[in-house]
Amino acid sequence: AVMVKESVRVYARVKPLGRRQQAGVYSVDEDEKSLSNLEIIVPHDLADGFINNKRESYKFKFQKVFDQEAKQDVVFDSIAKPVAECVLAGYNGTIFAYGQTGSGKTFTITGGAERYSDRGIVPRTLSYIFDQLQKDSSKVYTTHVSYLEIYNECGYDLLDPRHKASRLEDLPKVTIMEDPDQNIHLKNLSLQQATNEEEALNLLFLGDTNRVIAETPMNQASTRSHCIFTIHISSKEPGSAIIRRSKLHLVDLAGSERVAKTGVGGHLLTEAKYINLSLHYLEQVIIALAEKNRSHVPYRNSMMTSVLRDSLGGNCMTTMIATLSMDKRNIDESISTCRFAQRVALIKNDAVLNEEIDPRLMVIQLKKEIQELKDELALVTGEQRTSALSQEELLRLDELIEIFLGDSNPNSNLNVGADMRKIKYCFSRMKQLINHSKISDKKLLLQHTSEEKDTNREGGEEELKKLQGLLQQRNNEINILVNMLKKEKKKVQDAVFQLNAASLGSTVLEQSLSVNLEESQTPSNCFSLKEAKDFNSSVHQLPFLSRQ
């Protein structure tokens, strides 16, 4: 399979400041090597009177930094479109947003509800994928979507078709299964088929209404869970046995921040602990992957890292968006998000083209092969059937012959199996058809040439008379020769008889022969003495000469 080895691509997006927020100091600098530098300045006055020896300036490298005024469509074109293209080509892809609560992860991934132009990466990606699928008629595509929520280390299916849940506990629980090849399977997570963009968006909205949100000091509707929206695409060329399967994970992680900062208690505190724990495990996996000679990567520690196992250091093209809130209060969090992003950028993934053979087509091909082998065996072992072919079989054979003769392709075959009865029938039928076509050709020819015959008839009669004359002449010549031969035969027999009686020398015979020949010479036939001798030797064959 084709393999693409590349690092995880890391982007940063700065959230626009709210009205009451004080701006932090940062600068974005476009590098000449298609990278962006983000510099964050931490002034000393934030230290509230303590002696502060902390660094003032922090620099981070990103693939690109989207500043506060960046629009959703630009973000999509730069970040998600290249990944979507790879997914359509048969590779796996993942896009995930990471950042503190209220830094714009959900806005970037899902989008805002106020304006159509605020749509996020998920709806835009769906739109783009279905648009491309409609344009490409060379393959047959099927698309499914799934929506998984991980809340307090439990998985839930947000697209459960049976009921709209009023409480999270009502949703089906998703559990993780691992096969012997260490592939992760999610039990109880439904795959919903989406044949067009509208169906896919409806499923997305259904899932979004079931998500867990809560009010935190940072955000009125903070997403308190990790959500993974996955688009599964399988494609196949007509007639081919190869299927390409790829999936695109769009991940919205829950907010990362220190519990002390959120000022929460009760179940919100429990949530924060779980969120932080799963993000901590995510970070551990990333650190392990970035280290050159780590043999064990702790994927199994949390559900999140198990599900994203392929996306991190596996068979996937992965992109990360670090979302940053740049007001003074959140500068620390933004720096820790950037540090995390720098570690993620060190991970190398091996994306493989996901091709497999369609089992159904494989079965059909194997059945066909078995039948051919059986037929060959029957021919070789001479096990021939003797019963006459049925009327249906004969009609079917006629049909096959007709198709075969009508096919202009020089490589087409007439395949009737290894049944000698059928083969013989096909040959005799072909012969009939050829003879029939010859007769009809002759009729056509006769029609075409009847006029020419009229004009040629007189000349033809003259030709006939000439030929008849010539034939008569040849007949006469043959008659004369035959009579001669008879006479010669008689004379020779007499001479031989005399020879035997008188026991004379051969010279006498020669003389008598030459005399006889001279007597019987005709103007048109002269034999020399030598020819006479040859003739003498062939006299015994004369009974075989017939008049013809």
The residue-averaged pLDDT of 139-167 equals 82
Q: What is the pLDDT of residue 33?
A: 67
Closest CA to 491 of 510, 513, 469: 513
Q: What is the pLDDT of residue 146?
A: 93
Would you place residue 367 in the very low, low, confident or very high pLDDT band (cuts 50, 70, 90)? very high
pLDDT, tens only, 231-255: 999 998 887 888 899 999 998 888 7
Q: What is the pLDDT of residue 415?
A: 82
Residue-wise DSSP of 417-459: -S-HHHHHHHHHHHHHHHHHHHHHHHHHHHHHHHHHHHHHHHH
Task: Enumerate the domain spans of the chain.
Answer: 3-45+52-352, 360-422
Determine whether the annotation assigns residue 125 to a binding site. Answer: no
Cβ contact 132:257 at 8 Å: no
Determine whether the annotation assigns residue 239 to a binding site. Answer: no
pLDDT, tens only, 279-289: 888 888 888 88
Cβ contact 375:418 at 8 Å: yes
pLDDT above 90 covers a percentage of the chain that reads 23
Would you place residue 548 in the very low, low, confident or very high pLDDT band (cuts 50, 70, 90)? very low
**Pairing label, strands 57-62, 64-66:** unpaired
Would you place residue 216 in the very low, low, confident or very high pLDDT band (cuts 50, 70, 90)? low
Q: What is the pLDDT of residue 194?
A: 92
CA dist., res. 313 & res. 284, Å (int): 13
Determine whether the annotation assigns residue 106 to a binding site. Answer: yes
Would you place residue 479 in the very low, low, confident or very high pLDDT band (cuts 50, 70, 90)? very high
User: Can you read off the two tokens belonging to residue 24?
Assistant: 């932090």
Say whether pLDDT at 413 is over 70.
Answer: yes
Burial class (CB in 10 A: 0-12, 13-18, 19+), 421: middle
Would you place residue 263 in the very low, low, confident or very high pLDDT band (cuts 50, 70, 90)? low
Say whether pLDDT at 526 is over 50.
Answer: no
Would you place residue 514 in the very low, low, confident or very high pLDDT band (cuts 50, 70, 90)? low
The residue-averaged pLDDT of 478-494 equals 92
User: Can you read off the two tokens belonging to residue 462?
Assistant: 């003259």
CA dist., res. 35 & res. 63, Å (int): 5
Q: What is the pLDDT of residue 524?
A: 46
Say whether pLDDT at 330 is over 70.
Answer: yes
Say whether pLDDT at 186 is over 60.
Answer: yes
Quote the pTM value.
0.64
Closest CA to 335 of 12, 107, 9: 12
Q: What is the pLDDT of residue 123?
A: 92
CA dist., res. 182 & res. 42, Å (int): 45
Say whether pLDDT at 408 is over 80.
Answer: yes
Determine whether the annotation assigns residue 104 to a binding site. Answer: yes
User: Can you read off the two tokens belonging to residue 338?
Assistant: 């950037």
Q: What are the residues facing 10 on neighbouring strands?
A: 320
Determine whether the annotation assigns residue 103 to a binding site. Answer: yes
Burial class (CB in 10 A: 0-12, 13-18, 19+), 403: exposed
Which residues does 19 contact at the CB level (< 8 Å), separation at least 6? none
| Residue 476 vs residue 180, higher pLDDT | 476
pLDDT above 70 covers a percentage of the chain that reads 79
Task: Give the highest mean pLDDT range of 32-36, 148-152, 175-179, 319-323.
Answer: 319-323
Q: What is the pLDDT of residue 274?
A: 75
**Pairing label, strands 242-252, 93-99:** parallel
Q: What are the residues facing 7 on neighbouring strands?
A: 348
Which residues does 290 contact at the CB level (< 8 Å), separation at least 6? 343, 346, 347
Q: Classify 60 as helix, strand or coil.
A: strand
CA 492 to chain centre: 94
CA dist., res. 11 & res. 164, Å (int): 36
Q: Which residue has the tokens 């096959």?
A: 400
What is the rounded average pLDDT for all residues in the chain?
A: 80
Would you place residue 409 in the very low, low, confident or very high pLDDT band (cuts 50, 70, 90)? confident
User: Can you read off the two tokens belonging to residue 75?
Assistant: 């973000």
Determine whether the annotation assigns residue 33 to a binding site. Answer: no
Would you place residue 473 in the very low, low, confident or very high pLDDT band (cuts 50, 70, 90)? very high
Q: Which amino acid is at 108?
A: T
Q: What is the pLDDT of residue 52?
A: 56
If one counts every other C-beta atom within 10 angstroms of the C-beta of residue 446, the result is 10
The residue-averaged pLDDT of 42-57 equals 62
Q: What is the pLDDT of residue 53?
A: 60
The residue-averaged pLDDT of 392-420 equals 84
Cβ contact 351:317 at 8 Å: yes
Q: What is the pLDDT of residue 529?
A: 47
φ/ψ bin of 188: left (φ > 0), alpha (ψ from -120 to 50), beta (otherwise): left
Cβ contact 103:15 at 8 Å: yes
If one counts every other C-beta atom within 10 angstroms of the C-beta of residue 127, the result is 16
Closest CA to 237 of 412, 355, 126, 86: 355
| Residue 518 vs residue 109, higher pLDDT | 109
* Range in 54-63, 64-73, 381-390 the model is least confident about: 381-390
Cβ contact 330:103 at 8 Å: yes
CA dist., res. 503 & res. 482, Å (int): 31
Specify the DSSP class assigned to residue 23. B
Indicate the fold that domain 3-45+52-352 takes in CATH.
Kinesin (3.40.850)
Which residues does 336 contact at the CB level (< 8 Å), separation at least 6? 256
Whole-number CA gyration radius for the chain: 50
Q: What is the pLDDT of residue 402?
A: 87
